[in-house]
Chains A and B, each alone.
Chain A
Amino acid sequence: MTDIATYNFAYLDEQTKRMIRRAILKGIAIPGYQVPFASREMPMPYGWGTGGVQVTASIIGPDDVLKVIDQGADDTTNAVSIRAFFKKVANVAVTTDTGSATIIQTRHRIPEHPLTAGQVLVYQVPIPEPLRFLEPRETETRKMHALEEYGLMHVKLYEDIARHGRIATTYAYPVKVEGRYVMDPSPTPKFDNPKMHRSPALQLFGAGREKRIYAVPPFTSVVSLDFEDHPFEVQTFDQPCALCAAENVYLDEVILDDHGGHMFVCSDTDHCEKRREEGHRGHLASETHLAPGNMEPAQ
């Protein structure tokens, strides 16, 4: 096994980090604009967060505390691996606690716990171009962004309503940043879109395969696109979390057996565990063997 000393701090070499930081700064200066950057090969396959990892590697310092989530969970393969990776190559402190993290790398969720000033949320982005499936030519979509021609984005929402009677887009829901650029918020559920609006935390987006970085600086307006007579609305759940009884949070459906048994639990595992530590109990909380992650025994 190679000794850790053979890696530069946080894996990437300093030149690469400078290049990525420049892209990040440009992205922050032009909120929502996709900045091309020279994405590097990372020791993981495309689609596993190579963009997010490069952004994190470029901004992380020895004093940072890193949290990594995958679909809200701290204990899934991707989250565990990336956390272990930075622990090894940067020797930084890691945590699952949203409040004490300084950098949170995320795939497809924004934590339920409100973010604060000074925190950085790093998104892993598979497809940064919101217009991609409507207009396949990158030359054309870049022109459309440049000229602020966003009628096509509404064509997509129109199609949703025409086919389903409502806007059926539930994730990667397009937003307009600071009244200018239309941006793909990465495949987060639209439930999380309102959290992006005027967030005190810095939000950085890295797309490794597509070689694009974009950003939403703190306290920036992020508005979800909609129609006057079909306004934007988030998902609602008709029952609370089965483990911690939380309401107004994003829930995952977990299949319990092969007889149709299922439960809805918080997708944010840290949030769910905190609530249970505080004594909140859902209707399935006593059945510890059903719970995802490591749980304390029921009282």
Chain B
Amino acid sequence: MTDEPLLRVSALSKFYGSRVGCDNVSFDLWPGEVLAVVGESGSGKTTLLNCLSTRLLPSSGTASYRMRDGQFRELYRMSEAERRFLMRTDWGFVHQNPADGLRMTVSAGANVGERLMAVGDRHYGKIRATAVDWLSRVEIDEDRIDDEPRAFSGGMRQRLQIARNLVTGPRLVFMDEPTGGLDVSVQARLLDLLRGLVTDLGLAAIVVTHDLAVARLLSQRMMVMKDGRVIESGLTDRVLDDPRAPYTQLLVSSILQV
């Protein structure tokens, strides 16, 4: 870990008219760190994620990102072209619904290769070899490379989406409920895979989830949101084992025990 954060967020707020999306959120994210954002539906988790990934512009506040050259750039002052370039090179975004993050009508190989071609790769053989490599890393058989994601199961689609995002070697990945809608055994394998990839590649990630078990498995640090505000944050183990805010205590005690 270096002595400078990757992302600095300060007093970020987003209002939808008079309604609050997220209010006055500040934190630093360090390289290689996984931060979980938890809270119930409507607590502002996804709004926060969309603001950070510049898919939404916040009403106020700043976020600056340390580029590969070591310089901090303020996200909301970058041109759209720069933001979109960042989005397809240094960042990844894993959607809850893989159909939102994949091109459903082109083959798995092309889905993985698209980012490479977008940054100027023009050698078919190399693109395909990289795609094969990434499919195997996310445990998709090589002979599925020319199949469309439409023919994939939910878990495979989600793994394909992850491969598509990681192929350019991003440093920061945003995940919105990456395991939502998957059954528990598929979920477990996906989490295992994600944990492995994050560790191997030294990725920083911001994971939005309402599933505290996912947060415990993946993240080192955690923020709990309610009504658009961060009510508690700290090391994941600390927050889950010793919740301080009454709402966090309620949340933790609401976990179903099997």
Contact = CB atoms under 8 A, between A and B. Distances in A.
Contacts of A229: 123-125
A147 B80 CA distance: 8
B113 A161 contact: no
A219 interface: no
Contacts of B124: 158, 161, 227-230
A162 B113 CA distance: 12
A155 interface: yes
B56 interface: no
B110 A155 contact: yes
A277 interface: no
Interface string A127-167: 00000001000000001000101111011001101110000
B109 A151 contact: no
Contacts of B88: 151
A158 B109 contact: yes
Interface in B77-116: 80-81, 84, 88, 103, 106-107, 109-110, 113-115
A152 B114 contact: yes
A228 B123 contact: yes
B122 interface: yes
A159 B106 contact: yes
Contacts of B127: 158
B117 interface: yes
B217 interface: no
Contact of B107 (A151, A154, A162): A162
Contact of A158 (B80, B81, B113, B119): B113
Interface string B122-136: 111101100000000
Contacts of A143: 80
A229 B128 CA distance: 12
A168 B84 CA distance: 30
B146 interface: yes
A163 B110 contact: no
A151 B84 contact: no
A158 B106 CA distance: 10
Nearest to B146: A162
Contact of B117 (A151, A226, A230): A151
B186 interface: no
Contacts of B103: 134, 155
B84 A158 contact: no
B80 to A, nearest CB: 7
Contacts of A226: 122
B200 to A, nearest CB: 26
A158 B110 contact: yes
Nearest to B81: A147
A227 B123 CA distance: 5
Determine which residue in B103, B110, B113, B125 has the highest number of CB atoms from chain A within 10 A of its CB, and name it. B110
A162 B110 CA distance: 9
A143 B85 CA distance: 13
Contacts of A149: 84, 118
Interface string A213-244: 00000000000001111100000000000000
Contacts of A163: 107, 146
Given A161-B124, A162-B107, A227-B123, A155 B113 contact: yes
B81 A151 contact: no
A152 B80 contact: no
A150 B84 CA distance: 13
B81 to A, nearest CB: 5
Contacts of A147: 80-81, 84
B167 to A, nearest CB: 12
Contact of A154 (B81, B122, B125, B146): B122
Nearest to A153: B117
Given A147-B80, A147-B81, A159 B119 contact: no
A190 to B, nearest CB: 18
B90 to A, nearest CB: 16
B222 to A, nearest CB: 35
A158 B125 CA distance: 10
Given A149-B84, A162-B107, A162-B110, A228 B117 contact: no
Contact of A227 (B80, B122, B146): B122
B122 A152 contact: no
Nearest to B119: A151
Nearest to B79: A147
A159 B123 contact: no
17 contacts: A149-B84, A149-B118, A150-B118, A151-B115, A151-B118, A152-B117, A154-B117, A155-B103, A155-B110, A158-B117, A159-B107, A161-B124, A162-B109, A162-B110, A162-B145, A228-B123, A229-B124
Given A155-B114, A155-B117, A158-B113, 18 more contacts: A147-B80, A147-B84, A149-B84, A151-B88, A152-B117, A152-B118, A155-B106, A158-B117, A159-B106, A161-B124, A162-B107, A162-B109, A162-B145, A163-B107, A163-B146, A226-B122, A229-B124, A230-B124
Q: Give me the 8 closest cross-chain CB pairs, A-B, nearest first.
A: A151-B118, A154-B117, A227-B124, A151-B117, A147-B81, A228-B123, A158-B110, A155-B110
